[in-house]
Amino acid sequence: MPYKHDYDRILTRLTTILSKLNDGDALSVIELAQEFGVSSRTIQRDFNERLISFPIYQERKKWKMQDGFRVEKSKSIEDELVLDIISKITESIGGNFATKSHTLLSKIKNEDFSPIYAKLNIEDISDKFSEIQLLEKAIKEKLIIQSTYDKENKQISTSTIKPLKIANFEGFWYLIALKGESLRSYYLKNISNIILSEEHFKSDTKLETLLDNAISIWFRKDVEPFEVKLFVKSHTARYFKRRPLPTQKIETVNSDGSMEFTLKITDEMEILPIIKYWIPHLYVVEPLWLKDIIQTDLLKYLGKTT
């Protein structure tokens, strides 16, 4: 039965190639091209671009897995739990991504039964496999790229951009990149026709720190981070202790279990959705202008003002 999408063929081919390499086979580009009914150039691209992150090498025109990197059945209880958690997370994503990840994980895990359950609302991006592979290569090698971007149903050229990270915020995938000196976020599913240039760019340590500390896609590069102080009631405080926000620092823990904590943001929209989610169990202490925004929004919602 014919495949509906090119990425189905690509994923199946790459999974098979990795399985052969893991079994210790030395693979010929010409033989693989004949087996999958594609050109030798396509297979060579698989190794040079799509499988670049794996520990493989070419010796006498044969591709092999590096010694010491073969994937073996896990014997560790801790490893089994980690694999179970990864498996359940990918199941939450769904689609072909979940199917392919289950196939790969089954080669490592000792048994199919898992006591772990996880439900995450993360969008399926398995249809962007080829684009992600190219973006990973560009990010790792710091290569400037060109691409097409679908913005409000209009195909536009992104000209030349410097890709920095593939990030997931609130279940959606984005490419974080520099366009000139401006930091941009591109919705990953709207990116196509990626072309890697041979021109390299330099990374910025300060920018890397900004990305690591970002709470949401609303973070900004051109603004100095500012501090926000929040108060949270006792029965809600435990959630912020279990999963602290980036840059979160607990200032005061009261006898009743409530607490005050601070964090640094670059845009109010990084924290406003979180505050509104936890109302009335959390409120702003400082700055006062942020507290005023919350109050104004609540009054508008209640129809008290226009």
- Could you give the percent of the chain with pLDDT greater than 70? 78
Which has more pLDDT, 273 or 126? 273
Q: Decide if pLDDT at 1 tops 50.
A: no
Alpha-helical (H) ranges within the chain are 6-22, 29-36, 40-45, 77-93, 95-106, 129-141, 205-213, 234-242, 272-278, 288-301
Query: In the prediction, which pLDDT does 29 show?
Result: 93
Q: Identify the CATH assignment for 126-203 out of 4.10.1110, 2.40.480, 3.40.720, 2.30.30.
A: 2.30.30
Residue 120: what pLDDT? 63
Kindly list the strands in the beta sheet with 162-169, ordered across the sheet, starting from the edge strand earlier in the chain.
Answer: 162-169, 172-179, 182-187
Q: Which residue has the higher pLDDT, 147 or 12?
A: 147
SS3 category, 153? coil
pLDDT-wise least confident of 8-17, 69-78, 105-114: 69-78
C-alpha distance across the termini of the chain, in Å: 59
What's the pLDDT at 20? 87
- Mean pLDDT score across all residues of the chain: 82
CATH 1.10.10.10 for domain 6-65, yes or no, is yes
Instruction: Specify the CATH number of the domain 226-301.
Output: 3.30.70
Q: What is the pLDDT of residue 33?
A: 92
Tell me the whole-structure pTM to 2 decimals.
0.60
Name residue 149's beta-bridge partners.
Answer: 156, 191
Domain boundaries, the chain: 6-65, 126-203, 226-301
What pLDDT score was predicted for residue 277?
Answer: 92
Strand ordering across the sheet containing 62-65: 27-28, 62-65, 56-59
Task: Write out pLDDT tens, residues 49-96.
Answer: 778 767 888 888 899 888 766 555 444 545 655 566 566 666 655 666
